[in-house]
Structure 1
């Protein structure tokens, strides 16, 4: 006997297919925005790069501007989801959580270097509302770092006069890594993450010995 899919599973499958198509289009758009610039890349170019027609894209996105904004939404959402896991770790040691955040944030910023370039070059192409939304998302990152630092100060392991200013300094340090890091250079991503984590620990006044942490499982 062949089982028939339930309505729920059918809906889930449909959503997954839709998400796959959207991601395919967004990734293709990101590649062309990076190589040619937002103004020069056309929807015809994006469609041709993945072997579809322009109407295929219009079924999912109203315009090229919506594609650009959805790209930002998708990247910021994934990035924040990754780094915010530090607050759900089973290990509640504030040092371990802080290390997890810096290591993950640095690694993802390098992996998203293409997006970072697009953000710098094409922010002018965004609506005022989307620019305000991006600023708000960055404030979310700063607030997360501040919380981690405050927890360390309260535990007596971090020595910081102004946690918020220190958080701004650390966020800026990580955010600009993509401008100078060379993936094919002598410094591996793992080595860079270790260096950045140690520097961040010094900024928060951690005086203990740094030990490269084992991957920690988020608390479920």
Structure 2
């Protein structure tokens, strides 16, 4: 069971997220917070697996709360869920330690998938955000381990990750199952030393340049 803490200053948003999560057999909402200060206190008391974190809140905002939570409990996974996908919100949130970044207009299934992926150690991003991260990361030419021993299918998957496609979109494009895509992505992360999909996109660029 994945233990979830919901953090948002709008009660209606929290209520909707609670209903969404509690309709799933593998998710349970252990608490709600209306601001960052309350979120920090509840994480210490409730020890959730995943914190679904809004960014703009009165008092202590989501970025400060994320930083404080992870300083105290580094194993906590923080998934940002926000209306604001611009760089002024994205990069400070990632610097604070958030491991995923979704927009509030994402489909419910994408939000649920994001919670599960964060809990499993993945780093989910809304497609718009991921594409922007990829463009910026490729431009930075951050170093990666050389790619060696990729299968033809892994190269296909890697190219589509670099295009910002989700696992479901890759599965549809390649006519394979989503579970198979996840297996390939995991193998690619191991072979490239990449901890997330953005770094995998860099691996694709490295291969193209080589």
Instruction: Give the TM-score band, short-chain normalised.
Output: under 0.3
TM-score by length of 1: 0.27
Q: Choose 1 or 2 for highest CA Rg.
A: 1
Greater fraction helix: 1
TM-score by length of 2: 0.28
